[in-house]
A and B are shown apart, each in its own frame.
Chain A
Amino acid sequence: MTAIQISGLTKDYQIGFWRKRPWRALDGLSLEVERGEVFGFLGHNGAGKTTTLKLLTGLIFPTAGTAKVLGKPVGQPETFRHLGYLPENPYFYDYLTAQELLDYFAHFFQMDAGLRVRRREEMLKLVGLDSFRDMPLRKFSKGMLQRIGIAQAVLHDPEIVLLDEPMSGLDPMGRREVRDLIVQMKAEGKTVFFSTHILSDVEALCDRVAILNRGKLVGVGRLSELLRQRSGVEAVVECASSCSAELQHLASKPVTVSGGQYRLEIQEENMPRFLAFCQTEGVRLVSLNPIRASLEDYFTELSQSASDGEHVSSGVSAL
């Protein structure tokens, strides 16, 4: 069963003070997230990630398209029983303490007193705020707010968790903990949908990712599928300058030269020709390293090509 079903979701904002004009924050997004998946939602600031998450929680209303959570339209109180949401840069009632905030939110789930206390204690421990339970939230640091935000998102043990930039504002320790938490939720069979612009998190955690640029979906798929295209080697060679033309021909990217050494990237299918070339022309091989297939490169490339107005390679967008 699909956890989240988005089809043709579009959101226009009216911007400008005097003359309002529409600005498309999200443009025809279609996406499905399976149950039990950890799904990463990538994009630069302003790409439409937060807009999507707010549409999924019914905080804003779509201009066109639909979104369903567990088969039901978003925004219904019933769906919120199974949905947890961490807003971007969360802010809570600063006159409450951490404990009071969780108690307050627990009221909306009709937990009985025993369950409420148990869940609250579990959550405070989970996010490491056990010893700050009686501190008013106005004294919380950004990282602590992020933690209490996560605690309130999973307070009612939801099936689906939406996290908007869950790692932002956290120190390395905190990020580690949030990662572990996401892994743990996955192990419990929960669906985690989180947005981020920090790629290492995605690489470490996600089953699938979607990449958003200027409101448009530019790529979606399994990490291994998205990254397969980037396999190859990086070679550093020393040779006469007469060889440079042929090297450039073999390389997949512009060749860089420094101190008489040529640095070039070679696709896997070109390897035999490259090695043969080296042998026949007496090119000295300084080093040969497999390219670490990085999402970052992929992301950068996609974003660049999208902003250049070019089409993304069909192999990716077909996924």
Chain B
Amino acid sequence: MNSSPVLAVTLNTFREAVRDRILYNLVAFAVILIASAVLFGQISIGIEKIILINLGLSSISVFGLLIAIFLGINLVFKEIDKRSLYALLSKPVRRWQFLLGKFLGLNVTLLVNTIFMTAGFWAALYYLNRKFERQDQFIWVAIYFILLELSLVTAICLFFSCFSTPVLSAVFTFLLYIIGSFSADIRGFGELTHSAPLKALSTFVYYLVPNFSDFSVAAPVAHGKAVPGTLVLLNTIYTLCYASVLLVASMAVFSRKDLK
């Protein structure tokens, strides 16, 4: 396998995001964080750090999510729609390499974006507290989980983007994100119901949809709680498994697609 076509597509996807001024969102992020750090510094003692951590992690997640969805739905569609794909696919590159490159490219974009936001977040935290505490290390875990989550969202977008319009892809992805975030409730519902088919269905749906609630550790981390190492490992494996399901399915769909 030659990875060079994949790498070329990856870098070009990242370059597109940079040139399209996607990283400007960082400015908005910085404003929110600085404003909140200053604002909450004025209010009550004790809770301002919790609020800042919650707000910071949520902002990193939401901004990342927006970028992942809005770039993700266009990853493939835009190239088909604008026909830029014609010239590319008549080069010695396979369609799956193109898809993988696009996926990795968006992940690199999200990674860089998150790195910048994380730096700003730590700065705000330092500004507020004037020190770092031992349990702050778990903030890194929360950020790592956000990256895993974004990677999964990207894979979902890519999958829908292979056969659907951007608007529909966005709706599907967003719905799946919502359902995936509440999947524990779906299971809880199944456990409370007395109907066996409903119970079976809710269990099936629980394992079918991506479980985004696995990644939400922001709130406990804000309260200074530790995240077990096994959870880090398990979430990583989970993301790898689930994302590869979506990627391989996308490749299977896309490799037989007519580029009209």
Chain A residues at the B interface, C-beta cutoff of 8 Å: 13, 54, 57-61, 77-78, 80-81, 83-87, 89-93, 95-96, 104-105, 107-110, 149, 152-153
Q: List 24 A-B contacts (CB under 8 A).
A: A13-B258, A13-B260, A58-B89, A58-B90, A60-B259, A60-B260, A61-B258, A77-B92, A84-B90, A87-B87, A90-B83, A92-B87, A93-B84, A95-B19, A95-B20, A96-B15, A104-B12, A107-B8, A108-B5, A108-B93, A109-B91, A109-B92, A149-B87, A152-B87
Which residues of the partner chain A approach B87 to less than 8 Å between Cβ atoms? 85-87, 90, 92, 105, 149, 152-153
- Chain B positions 87-141 with a Cβ under 8 Å from a chain A Cβ: 87-94
Q: Does B16 contact A (CB under 8 A)?
A: yes
Which residues of the partner chain A approach B260 to less than 8 Å between Cβ atoms? 13, 60
Contact B84 A91 (CB under 8 A): yes
User: Nearest-CB distance from A162 to chain B (Å)?
Assistant: 8
Contact A91 B82 (CB under 8 A): yes
The interface bits of chain B over 4-31 (1 if a CB of A lies within 8 angstroms of the residue's CB, else 0) are 1100100010011001100000000000
Docked pose: A84 CA to B93 CA in angstroms: 13
Docked pose: A108 CA to B11 CA in angstroms: 13
User: Nearest-CB distance from B157 to chain A (Å)?
Assistant: 19
- Nearest-CB residue, chain A, relative to B8: A107
Q: Does B256 contact A (CB under 8 A)?
A: yes
Contact A78 B82 (CB under 8 A): no
- Nearest-CB residue, chain A, relative to B90: A85
User: Nearest-CB distance from B164 to chain A (Å)?
Assistant: 15
Known contacts A59-B90, A80-B92, A107-B4; decide if A54 and B259 are in contact (CB<8 Å).
Answer: yes
- Nearest-CB residue, chain A, relative to B20: A95
Which residues of the partner chain A approach B19 to less than 8 Å between Cβ atoms? 95-96
Q: Does B204 contact A (CB under 8 A)?
A: no
Docked pose: A176 CA to B134 CA in angstroms: 73
- Nearest-CB residue, chain B, relative to A87: B86
Chain B count of residues within 8 A CB distance of the other chain? 26
- Chain B positions 64-90 with a Cβ under 8 Å from a chain A Cβ: 82-90
Of B2, B4, B12, B86, the residue contacting A59 (CB under 8 A) is B86
Contact A87 B83 (CB under 8 A): yes
Which residues of the partner chain B approach A60 to less than 8 Å between Cβ atoms? 258-260
Known contacts A59-B259, A105-B87, A110-B4; decide if A78 and B15 are in contact (CB<8 Å).
Answer: no
- Nearest-CB residue, chain A, relative to B79: A93
- Nearest-CB residue, chain B, relative to A81: B92
Closest 7 CB pairs of A and B: A95-B19, A77-B92, A85-B90, A87-B86, A107-B8, A108-B91, A60-B258
How many residue pairs between the two chains, A and B, have CB atoms under 8 Å in the bound complex?
79
Contact A61 B256 (CB under 8 A): yes
User: Nearest-CB distance from B130 to chain A (Å)?
Assistant: 43
User: Nearest-CB distance from B76 to chain A (Å)?
Assistant: 14
Contact B4 A80 (CB under 8 A): no
**Extra pairs beyond A81-B92, A89-B83, A96-B15 (6, CB < 8 Å):** A54-B86, A77-B92, A83-B90, A84-B90, A92-B87, A93-B12
Of A78, A91, A95, the residue contacting B16 (CB under 8 A) is A95
Which residues of the partner chain B approach A87 to less than 8 Å between Cβ atoms? 83, 86-87, 90
User: Nearest-CB distance from A304 to chain B (Å)?
Assistant: 29
Docked pose: A105 CA to B90 CA in angstroms: 10
- Nearest-CB residue, chain B, relative to A105: B91
- Nearest-CB residue, chain A, relative to B89: A59
- Nearest-CB residue, chain B, relative to A25: B260
Of B84, B86, B93, B256, the residue contacting A77 (CB under 8 A) is B93
Which residues of the partner chain A approach B86 to less than 8 Å between Cβ atoms? 54, 57, 59, 85, 87, 90
Which residues of the partner chain B approach A59 to less than 8 Å between Cβ atoms? 85-86, 89-90, 258-259
Docked pose: A87 CA to B87 CA in angstroms: 7
Known contacts A60-B259, A108-B5; decide if A92 and B93 are in contact (CB<8 Å).
Answer: no
User: Nearest-CB distance from B219 to chain A (Å)?
Assistant: 39
> Which of B12, B20, B91 neighbours the largest number of chain A CB atoms within 10 Å of its CB?
B91
Docked pose: A22 CA to B258 CA in angstroms: 14
The interface bits of chain B over 226-251 (1 if a CB of A lies within 8 angstroms of the residue's CB, else 0) are 00000000000000000000000000
- Nearest-CB residue, chain A, relative to B7: A107
User: Nearest-CB distance from B8 to chain A (Å)?
Assistant: 4
Which residues of the partner chain A approach B85 to less than 8 Å between Cβ atoms? 59
User: Nearest-CB distance from A218 to chain B (Å)?
Assistant: 24
User: Nearest-CB distance from B19 to chain A (Å)?
Assistant: 4
Which residues of the partner chain B approach A57 to less than 8 Å between Cβ atoms? 86, 89-90
User: Nearest-CB distance from B138 to chain A (Å)?
Assistant: 39
Docked pose: A197 CA to B59 CA in angstroms: 56
Which residues of the partner chain A approach B2 to less than 8 Å between Cβ atoms? 110
Of A54, A84, A85, A92, the residue contacting B84 (CB under 8 A) is A92
- Nearest-CB residue, chain A, relative to B18: A95
Which residues of the partner chain A approach B94 to less than 8 Å between Cβ atoms? 77
Which residues of the partner chain B approach A81 to less than 8 Å between Cβ atoms? 92
Docked pose: A2 CA to B12 CA in angstroms: 36
Which residues of the partner chain A approach B83 to less than 8 Å between Cβ atoms? 87, 89-91
Docked pose: A96 CA to B19 CA in angstroms: 9
